[in-house]
Amino acid sequence: MSIGCEISVSTGAEHETQNLSKCLSAGFGYAVLISPEEETLVEARALFGQYDKRVRFVSPDGFIAFLEEFEASAGRDEAKKPKRPQARTDGPDDAPTGKRMLIAEDAAEYLGLATQTLAKMRWSGDSPPFFKVGRRVLYERDELDVWLLQRKRTSTSDSGDSRLKDS
């Protein structure tokens, strides 16, 4: 699980609430605004509007309590869940076999990218094509292969343009 943290010292509540929304859009599991000023937290909470259990508004001490709570609940959740296979570190060939569709975490691993890098690429429009089903982001394995092949280069000065003309 990932946590996006916004620390408010000199920026206003409106700016920080926009950043919290960006954190959630980028795929963070939680977005937390940390401020020593209670007034900023109250204003940000009101500006954010809708209740979302993934968003927290806390003081620095409250953040430590949140992390402790988060760690405790993660331990309880892990005990309930069936064990997932350990992360594959040898490369693309080790991604789940036989699956046509990959969740974002497995797609990132398949591509050799961090999950957050792939999330940022989705946000900027640079990612491979994907499907959005509810909160879940899915990738087709074949589309990932095509996307990778389009980025194949023979040198650092190769822009890839000549390969596109030859194809």
Boundary residue ending a domain (42, 57, 80): 80
Which residues are registered as beta bridge partners of 6? Answer: 33
Average predicted confidence (pLDDT) for the chain: 79
Residue 163 falls within a domain, yes or no?
A: no
Q: Give yes or no: residues 28 and 71 share one domain.
A: yes
Asked if 15 and 21 count as a contact pair (C-beta separation under 8 A), the reply is: no
Boundary residue ending a domain (80, 106, 130): 80
Note the pLDDT of residue 34. 92
Q: Which residues does 125 contact at the CB level (< 8 Å), separation at least 6?
A: none
Q: Per the structure block, which two tokens stand in for 10? A: 């000199």
Per the structure, the count of domains in the chain is 2
pTM of the model: 0.45
Q: Give yes or no: residues 118 and 148 share one domain.
A: yes
Note the pLDDT of residue 89. 40
Q: Give yes or no: residues 8 and 69 share one domain.
A: yes
The whole-angstrom separation of Cα 148 and Cα 96 is 17
Residue 161 falls within a domain, yes or no?
A: no
Note the pLDDT of residue 129. 93
Residue range(s) defining the domain that contains residue 104: 92-154
Q: Give yes or no: residues 21 and 74 share one domain.
A: yes
pLDDT tens for each residue of 135-154:
888 999 888 888 988 888 88
DSSP assignment string, 104-143: HHHHHHHHT--HHHHHHHHHHT-SPP-EEETTEEEEEHHH
Q: Which residues does 63 contact at the CB level (< 8 Å), separation at least 6?
A: 5, 32, 34
Residue range 12-34: mean pLDDT, rounded = 88
Q: How many CB atoms lie within 10 A of CB 157?
A: 6
pLDDT tens for each residue of 93-123:
444 455 678 888 888 888 888 888 899 999 9
Q: Give yes or no: residues 105 and 75 share one domain.
A: no
* Amino acid (1-letter code) at residue 5: C
pLDDT tens for each residue of 63-97:
888 888 777 776 665 555 555 444 444 444 444 45
CATH of the domain at 102: 1.10.1660
Residue 70 falls within a domain, yes or no?
A: yes
Boundary residue ending a domain (16, 47, 80): 80
